[in-house]
Structure 1
């Protein structure tokens, strides 16, 4: 039968769920912010080549999270718009809870959850598994580079700049979204057009041609990013 979990029990059984995964691990949580303990557990599962799927719903990824994920071969990450569910499961156990991943081990919070075990509640477990698979199917798998994350972080800052010209322009990720493209696809097109080149470290660099069409390279505490006119030709 399903078990009720309070805050401390949710933390305990979530850790056990991750540790006991032998074939697959699904983590669905709006916020993709992982503490050191969760990262340690996932790194161990990655070494064992366990299939790990993480679905998140808030596009506020921190560069440190991306750096960490880029080192792991068996973790696939997807973005699901309007995601509010928190569901964690392996091949035998499922937890549906109010606990976000970034709140793991914060036992001062007041959380509730339900533990479902396949051997005791197979139909309920299967329903939860099928819904998790549906969420994965409607999600967009992401391979976000560190440059893209910096661009996303900088969008709000660009909007607030006291530069009238900057307010007429968009970051690469904003411009890509306008044309329903991935940021990397937009950058590839600008390389083809000669607006950007790749330097010997594989980083994009603005060309004189790119500057002539209004492209700008800016820097702040997160690093560098590009600005483009809202009507930049992309074809």
Structure 2
């Protein structure tokens, strides 16, 4: 049977869910600013090669979070527009409640939630799991980067896929961001980057994508915006 949780109960069971995850861990929180304890637990999951998915909904990730996330190989981060749900789910249990995974909220706010165990409430757990999977599917996976790009430099760091959607640049130039170009071709952003690389418009070195001379001649542009670096492409670029 589902169990009611107050603030301290949510924090306790959240740590237990993270510690107990052996197969998968899904974290859904609009705001993301992790305390040291949660970071330690997630770093341990990364060392154990546990599949961790973090879905967040606010574009203003703190630089410390970005820097920390870059060092985790098995923690994947996705951005979900209009996200308001808060859910923390392993293969055995989940929490649904009001708590953001935000250090201030964990300490200062009055929160409520419910704790669901898969063994005792299988259908309820399954419904929560399926909704979490849906949010993952509609989210855009973020390729985190904190690289500093000089004004005259052309190499682009691994830009966050949803951060590529700098609408002002797109509308002003009449070009498409990589993610918009991918949508046009009914693809995800990552396969589109692979296609652009295979076509010779990008090259991959030093763990980054670089715009090539061929890419420039085809009309590709490298830009930096408030969310980082991204590429713009002609809508009719030959792939």
Structure 1 length as normaliser, TM-score?
Answer: 0.71
How does 1:66-85 map onto structure 2 within 5 Å? Answer: 68-69=68-69, 71-75=71-75, 84-85=84-85
Contact 2:96 2:113 in 1 (8 A): yes
Q: Secondary structure at the match of 1:180?
A: coil
Deviations 1:26-46 (A, max 9, x none): 334143724033221111233
Deviates more, 1:77-86 or 1:110-119: 77-86
| Equivalent in the alignment of 2:129 | 133
Contact 2:18 2:90 in 1 (8 A): yes
Q: Say what the alpha-carbon RMSD is for the aligned residues.
A: 3.7
Q: Secondary structure at the match of 1:225?
A: strand
Contact 1:55 1:136 in 2 (8 A): no
The answer to whether the aligner puts 1:187 opposite 2:183 as a matched pair is: no
Aligned length: 223
Q: Which runs of 5+ in 1 are unaligned?
A: none
Residues 133 and 53 of structure 1: CA distance in aligned 2, closer, same or farther (over 3 Å) = farther
Deviates more, 1:144-153 or 1:183-192: 144-153
| Equivalent in the alignment of 1:173 | 179
How does 1:14-25 map onto structure 2 within 5 Å? Answer: 14-19=14-19, 21=20, 23-25=22-24
Deviations 1:65-85 (A, max 9, x none): 565445445545667777654
Residues 106 and 206 of structure 1: CA distance in aligned 2, closer, same or farther (over 3 Å) = same
Shift of 1:220: 4.8
Structure 2 length as normaliser, TM-score?
Answer: 0.70
| Equivalent in the alignment of 2:168 | 160
Deviations 1:160-202 (A, max 9, x none): 35x98x431222222222322222322222233332333x425
Contact 2:142 2:160 in 1 (8 A): no
**What is the CA–CA distance in structure 1 between the aligned matches of 2:226 and 2:78, rounded to whole Å?**
27
Q: Which runs of 5+ in 2 are unaligned?
A: 145-156
Which has more radius of gyration? Answer: 1
